């Protein structure tokens, strides 16, 4: 298809747990096989499953702002992405919220958000 707006294949793995829904996605690229796209998404899922945390790496930065606006919250997640680290700095800069990430295991962190004292 010469008029395609996207790079081709896409796969989404959706996991619905009791308190969270996680989505793992692989996008096709030029010269990337469908198998490679599927393998990438599967590897993301397996990494999250191995970490035994409710919040995956991509959801971790998305739930920070609602918790910050609420004034408090905490959640277990995987090692923070650069996007999450940047998000923490932005929240600290614009809201009166203390945010910290405590490493509890090799693949597990707990993010704490509390009203600044």
- DSSP category for residue 5: S
- C-alpha–C-alpha distance, residues 8 and 37, integer Å: 10
Task: Establish whether 19 is a catalytic residue.
Answer: no
- C-alpha–C-alpha distance, residues 6 and 59, integer Å: 24
> Which position among 19, 58, 83, 112 bears the catalytic label?
83
- Quick one: which of 115, 112, 116 has its CA closest to 73? 112
Cα angle 99, 100, 101 (rounded to 5 degrees) comes to 135
Q: At 29, is the secondary structure helix, strand, or coil?
A: coil
- Taking a C-beta distance cutoff of 8 angstroms, is the pair 82, 43 a contact? no
Tell me which residues are annotated as active site: 83
């Amino acid at each position: 298809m010469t008029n395609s707006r996207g790079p081709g294949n896409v796969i989404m793995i959706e996991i619905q747990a009791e308190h969270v829904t996680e989505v793992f996605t692989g996008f096709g690229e030029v010269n990337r096989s469908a198998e490679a796209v599927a393998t990438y998404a599967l590897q993301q899922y397996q990494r999250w499953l191995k970490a035994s945390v409710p919040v995956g790496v991509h959801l971790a930065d998305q739930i920070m702002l609602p918790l910050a606006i609420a004034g408090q919250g905490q959640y277990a997640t995987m090692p923070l992405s650069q996007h999450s680290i940047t998000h923490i700095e932005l929240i600290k800069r614009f809201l009166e919220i203390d945010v910290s990430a405590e490493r509890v295991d090799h693949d597990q962190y707990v993010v704490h958000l509390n009203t600044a004292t």
